[in-house]
Amino acid sequence: MKKTLWTKNFTIITLGTIISSIGGVAMNLAFGLVVFDQTASTWLSSSLIAITYIPSILLPVLIAPYVDHCDKRKVIVALDYICGILYLLFQFYLRGFAFSYEMYLLFGFITSSIGTVYNLTYTAFYPDLIPEGLAQKGYTISSMIYPTVTALITPVAAVLYVRAGIETIMLIEGILLLLAASFELLIKPPYEKNEYSETKTEKKTFTENLIAYRNDLLEGFRYLKKEKGLRNLYYYSAVTNGAAQGISTMIMAAFQSSPLLTTTMYSLLISAETVGRMIGGVIHYFIKIPAKMKYKITKSVYKIYEICDMALLFLPYPVMLVLRFLCGFLGINTATIREAAVQNYIPANVRGRVNAIISTMIYLYAMAAQLVAGALGEILPYKIVTLILAGTTFLCIYLFVVRNKKEISPLLNNVY
């Protein structure tokens, strides 16, 4: 019998992810816009984002040993319910009080903490829901969800933000998170019922638990220490993700402060990139990239992406749309190649801890990049800041990816 990707578990997790992504896309757009509109400061906008990265830096390594041994389905369901309730409560607060930077900071910090635990658990859980041998198709679907939702929802969110305010968007996000959690309840765990109960019944002293925790955590570090290709691939990933966040803030500021550019045009720019990702994802789903070509394609796309970022704000708006579409189209393929290769390469028993260390590294650089971008945005034209960030990242392609071809190529070119 031919294997199918669309098992009950995979279908449910996909539906749940789509539902929560709809509100998440709208919320991310509105959150950034409202802070900049109220403060007119790239430093304050970037600082808020940077501070909300702190949980993503500290929590993954602290909770990783727990994630590898917990009932992951129960965790993601509970966190979706909690986050949904928080959004509903905060939208009530916003309807009764004026803008407060400190309250947005507090809310962002709390939801970021919840999201960090959720994302780490979800990343460790997701591979278990993909039928064996269908990793490329599974990760292609996963990679297409957010771009597709972004392309469709971002223009709608921009209109909602202008006409109804962030409160309405938060209300929608809260309802959608509760709905997503209800879908995720239907997932049948792919592990035995007693797998986690045995761990829970073991009685250990505090010292024994602390030693076990330390050993679990060190195992993740030891694994990464011997995997030079994996380390350098994610060194570059950390740099490019951080730079992309800083560049995104500069693009938003450029559009919001320009007399010729509008919020709607900004939302369409985001949609152009995500439409590219959606189309690229469809092609990647049906066309299997030859294993021996994956490293070459990845390296070339990285270079094109950074060149496009360097040039973006120097160009007319129609050309911006074309470049963002191109970046989305190419970027989805390298993202899928990397994640499918890496997540299937890392042993399941250490996947949560390794992903946690990688996540911490990525968010640590993202935090630094946001602060640098925000500070530079106060004294330099926004287009010059994007040039600096993307130019630095371009050099890192040679430092991390090209120089370590011997180790990275077999990792990406692996058949899965």
Average pLDDT, the chain: 81
- Over residues 360-364, mean pLDDT: 80
pTM of the model: 0.66
Identify whether 190 is part of a domain.
Answer: no
Q: What are the pLDDT digits (tens) for 22-65?
A: 767 777 777 777 888 888 788 888 888 788 878 877 777 677 66
- Which residue, chain included where needed, has tokens 């926004």? 382
| CA separation for the pair 388, 255 (Å, rounded) | 19
Q: Are 330 and 280 in contact (CB under 8 A)?
A: yes
Domain containing residue 382: 8-184+208-412
For position 2, what pLDDT does the model report? 61
pLDDT tens for each residue of 377-410: 999 999 999 999 999 999 999 999 888 888 888 8
Q: Region 348-356: what's the mean pLDDT?
A: 73
Q: Computed from CA positions of residues 400, 356, 23, 332, in that sequence, does the dihedral angle turn out positive or negative?
A: positive
pLDDT above 60: residue 193 = no
Q: What is the pLDDT of residue 197?
A: 43
The pair of three-digit structure tokens given for residue 366, joined into one six-digit string: 């993202």
Average pLDDT of the residues in 336-351: 74
Distance CA 21, CA 367 (A): 23
- pLDDT of 374 > 50? The answer is yes
pLDDT of residue 203: 53
Total domain count, the chain: 1
Residues 124/64, Cβ–Cβ less than 8 Å: no
| Cα(407)–Cα(54) distance, integer angstroms | 31
Determine the pLDDT at residue 199.
44
pLDDT at residue 249, as a whole number? 85
53 lies in some domain: yes
What would the mean pLDDT of 309-333 be, rounded to a whole number?
89
Q: What is the pLDDT of residue 195?
A: 46
325: confidence class by pLDDT, cuts 50, 70, 90: very high
Q: Does the structure show a pLDDT above 60 at 416?
A: no
What is the per-residue pLDDT across 278-295, written as a single tens digit (0 to 9) for each? 788 777 667 777 777 888
State the Cα torsion 284-290-294-297 to the nearest 10°: -70
Pick from 87-91, 144-148, 263-267 the range whose average pLDDT is largest: 87-91
In a domain, 2, yes or no: no
Tokens of 121: 């658990």
248 within some domain: yes
- Measured CA to CA, the distance from residue 318 to residue 216 in angstroms comes to 52
> Is 197 domain-assigned?
no
CB 136 within 8 A of CB 340: yes
62-105 per-position pLDDT tens digit: 776 677 677 888 888 999 899 899 989 999 998 888 888 889 88
Tally of residues, the chain: 416
In angstroms, the CA 389 to CA 310 distance is 8
Q: Over 90: is that where the pLDDT of 248 sits?
A: no
C-alpha span between 116 and 100 (Å, rounded): 24
Domain annotation covers residue 231 = yes
Answer yes or no: is pLDDT of 189 > 50: yes
In a domain, 202, yes or no: no
**Which CATH number is 323's domain given?**
1.20.1250.20
What is the mean predicted confidence (pLDDT) over 139-165? 75
With cut-offs at 50, 70 and 90, classify the pLDDT of residue 316. very high
Is 1 a domain residue?
no
